[in-house]
Structure 1
Amino acid sequence: MGDATNGTDSYFLSYEDLEVHKLMIQDSARTEAYRKAILSNRQVFEGKTVLDVGAGTGLLSIFCAQAGASKVYAVEASNTSELARKVIEENHFSDIIDVVNSKVENLTLPYQVNVIVSEWMGFYLLHESMLDSVLYARDTFLRPDGCMFPSHCALYASPCSLPQMYSDFDEVSGVKLRKFAEALRKSYLNRPKVMTISSENILATSAKPIFMLDLLQCQVDTLNEIVAEKCLSVVDKTGIYQGVCFWFDVKFPTDDCTLSTAPTCPETHWKQTIIVLPAQMDVEEGDAVMFNVKLTRNDSNKRYYNISLDMLDAEHETHPTPCSCNYTKCKIIKTFLSVTENISDDDDEEDDEEDECIIVEEKTPEEET
């Protein structure tokens, strides 16, 4: 699916490759998340007007029609729009869904819409995404009381092990290939690697978002440079720290429905994005790992981002309070806060007991006589 102001013709041509659409359609985690989010919230769609930005083959538009939308504008900039018309006709929704072959920035609609639906995400959320176009559509066509599907997104990062680039090549069919693995790692030092990471190789499973976006509020300028400083991960298993793994979630505005590309969730075509470290490091449960992350638009192609990862010495950086890592200063602070909380709880109990005594000793005028 695709639509954007700053894209080149090759971007839209890539979405005329049916293999690309086959990959997305057969991504069951992706497709089912959208189907559930739309069909389980019929009250949002019934009798409403919907704009599908980057409609592709029309699948999401059909979900909206099935949920009771009165009109759906399926906007697709590539020539896949012709196929979308046929798919929509095949499913008997031609009277509800209008397919428009256009960039959304060139679109004209007779009125504003109630809902914007789009599957705009790229690798590590922002790479080659069409979020700019979605935000343009929001500002131009969405009613003030309208909603967006999805409505929120978040990017996560965690230290990880990479056996695929290390131990898997210690011996292959009786041959040592460590030098090959070393050369392979070097080839990825200056560029991210999209791959699938097993959940067992994630070293901090309770990772927190490094940034979040509310799609009803965020502005395009926000996307030019995203900086996340002092991202702290507390390692919850002993292992070898060899890279940083990125994944994302998107959430829908109603119902508890989330599409996640986390290693602990079913695999998607987005997989995960890995930054390979120049050297590996042994870590133990409770160790703290800290880094700065900066995503900056590429000057030559605004659909691409440069990722800067700055490793920090977690022992000498300020940690959030409380922090569950095993550094002495954090242990002391955590213990102090725990003791303070217990004292406060005891005081509250004593106050309650005093209140109870006062109540018990009170007498009515009749009893005093």
Structure 2
Amino acid sequence: MTPLPPSTHDTAQFLDYHVSMLRDTVRTNAFREAIHATVVEGDVVVDIGCGTGILSLFACQAGARHVYAIDRGPVLDVARDLARRNGLADRISFLRGESTVLDPPERADVLITETLWNLGLGEGLLSTVSDAVRRWLRPGAAIIPGTVEVRLAPIGLRGLRERLSVADLDYGVDFSHLEAASRNVPRSMFIWPEAVRCPAQTVWSARLPYGGPETIPMAAEFVVETAGTVNAFGGWFRSDLGGGVVLSNAPPSAAPSWEQAVFPLSHAVEVAPGDRIRVALETDATADTTWTWATRVLRDGSEVAAFQQSTRDVRLLTSA
């Protein structure tokens, strides 16, 4: 069967997404600065998840002898054309597919990968980098980004219940399974500073490549200072890209192509000063799209709320 051509709507979404990444000057200039501080004349560079290829072009501008730009999507054709129009087609090889499956033409001196989700983890960053170190890079190769730090805070988001809930819809339909599933999936949303109920804490950090256990535990305890509603945990990242360049999407984020990660609670909780909110968040380093988070709210040492949530529950519901 001949595949259908992309619709105008699909094309518009595709262009909007990649143009928004380019127009995020905070993100793009941070990576450009880190690349120019890291790549030296004659280096071989591999750019994993290259998108439009803008970071590959920066590597060439910094003096790279050759760049291997990898992406699995149709944007690779855009990147190839962009390189041609900028006179760099002979210095960039475009490889379609997953870097973990492709065979490296040669070993590289520098790895660039902008596979950072709103929480830093979440787009296969750790497994991608680990595989690249084993198969794509020379010993001692530089990695951009160099470090990733995950930060969490309890938040009270206005309108979150309306966004997630279908329990109040009177259609004569049982939506209970969808209601439960909706609260077990982390979201990408903008978090305003006034929604943050306690100062954020660093719950995990690592220098790449990550060499720790496959299961990544993160935990924190927050002491409430002001009464209010808590209905989720918000998360964001801080990353040292290299060359002293630090990038973060902490609210209010100056890098608009990233929102923040939102892990909803099963139910909103009214908290008071002195309450303690404990969270244990866990993901898998080899496939960081699975998340589990457990929450306890304590008042004067007694538990007033406790939730256990996981994206695994969503998979069970959708496969039932």
| TM-score, length of structure 1 as denominator length | 0.66
Tell me which residue corresponds to 1:151. Answer: 146
Aligned pair 1:276/2:264, yes or no?
A: yes
Deviation at 1:186, TM superposition (A): 7.1
Task: Decide whether aligned partners of structure 1 residues 214 and 241 sit closer, same or farther in structure 2, where only a CA change above 3 A counts.
Answer: same
Check if 1:216 corresponds to 2:205: no
Listed one character per residue, the Cα deviations across residues 295-349 of structure 1 (whole Å, up to 9, x for unaligned) are 2589xxx4621332232537549xxxxxxxxxxxxxxxxxxxxxxxxxxxxxxxx
Offset of residue 114 of structure 1? 1.0
2:73 alignment counterpart: 78
Match in the other structure for 2:215: 225
Confirm whether residue 265 of structure 1 aligns to residue 259 of structure 2.
Answer: no
Partner residue of 2:92 out of 89, 97, 100: 97
What is the CA–CA distance in structure 2 between the aligned matches of 1:91 and 1:199, rounded to whole Å?
41
Work out whether residues 100 and 132 of structure 2, in 8 Å CA contact, stay in contact via their aligned partners in 1: yes
Aligned sequence identity (%): 26
Separation in structure 2 between the aligned mates of residue 48 and residue 267 of structure 1, nearest angstrom = 29
Match of 1:307 in 2: 292
Measured in 1, the distance between the counterparts of 2:203 and 2:131 equals: 25
Task: Assess, with a 3 A threshold, how the Cα gap between structure 1 residues 244 and 19 changes in structure 2: closer, same or farther.
Answer: same
> What amino acid sits opposite 1:37 in the alignment?
A
Point out where structure 2 has 5 or more consecutive residues left out of the alignment: 1-9, 170-175, 303-320
Q: 1:196 aligns with which of 190, 200, 216?
A: 190
Is the Cα–Cα contact under 8 Å of residues 159 and 244 in structure 1 kept in the other structure? yes
Paired residues, what number? Answer: 281
Are 2:233 and 2:264, in contact at CA under 8 Å, matched by a contact in 1?
yes
Deviation at 1:62, TM superposition (A): 0.6
Q: Given that residues 43 and 109 in structure 2 are in contact (C-alpha distance below 8 angstroms), is that contact kept between their aligned partners in structure 1?
A: yes
Counterparts of 2:15 and 2:204, CA distance in 1: 33
Q: CA deviation at 1:202?
A: 0.9
1:160 aligned residue = 155
1:31 Cα deviation (Å)? Answer: 1.7
Q: Which residue of 2 aligns with 1:17?
A: 14
Is the Cα contact below 8 Å between 2:60 and 2:91 reproduced in 1? yes
Secondary structure in 2 aligned to 1:107? coil
1: distance between equivalents of 2:217 and 2:297? 15
Cα distance change on mapping 1:74 and 1:309 into 2, 3 Å: same
CA distance in 1, matches of 2:133, 2:290: 23
Question: 2 CA distance for matches of 1:247 and 1:262?
Answer: 6
CA distance, structure 2, for counterparts of residue 167 and residue 85 of structure 1: 43
User: Counterpart amino acid of 2:145?
Assistant: P
Q: Which residue pairs with 2:313 in the alignment?
A: none
TM-aligned CA deviation for residue 187 of structure 1: 7.3
Are the counterparts in 1 of residues 70 and 98 from structure 2 also a CA contact under 8 Å? yes
Considering only CA atoms, is the larger Rg found in Structure 1 or Structure 2? Answer: 1
* Alignment match of 2:229 (pick from 214, 222, 240): 240
Kept in 1: contact 2:52–2:79 (CA 8 A): yes
Q: Deviations over 1:126-177 (max 9, x none)?
A: 3343542232112112222211000111111101122233799xxxxxxxxx
Residue of structure 2 in register with 1:35 after alignment:
32
Structure holding more strand per residue: 2
Compute the RMSD of aligned alpha carbons. 3.3
Find the residue that maps to 1:104 and give its secondary structure: coil
Report how far residue 214 of structure 1 moved. 1.6
CA–CA distance in 2 between the matches of 1:297 and 1:211? 12
Secondary structure in 1 matching 2:79? helix
Deviates more, 1:29-38 or 1:303-312: 303-312
Structure 1 runs (4+) greater than 6 angstroms displaced: 183-187
3-state secondary structure, aligned to 1:22 = helix
* Cα pair 2:276 2:297 within 8 Å, conserved: no
| Structure 2 partner of 1:56 | 51
TM-score of the two chains, using structure 2 as the length reference: 0.75
Question: Against the structure 1 CA distance between its residues 94 and 297, is the aligned structure 2 distance closer, same or farther, given a 3 Å change threshold?
Answer: closer
- 1:70-112 per-residue CA deviation (whole Å, 9 max, x = no partner) reads 2211122233222211101112222322222242234334432
C-alpha displacement at 1:119, in angstroms? 0.5
* In structure 2, distance between residues paired with 1:279 and 1:110: 53
**Partner residue, 1:141:** 136
In the alignment, is the contact (CA less than 8 A) between 1:165 and 1:185 conserved in 2? no
d(CA) in 2 for partners of 1:185, 1:164:
16
1:194-252, Cα deviation, whole Å (9 max, x unpaired): 211101211223x2211112213426xx4x422123x1224454533232111112212
| Contact 1:159 1:202 (C-alpha < 8 Å) held by counterparts | yes
Q: Secondary structure at the match of 1:148?
A: strand
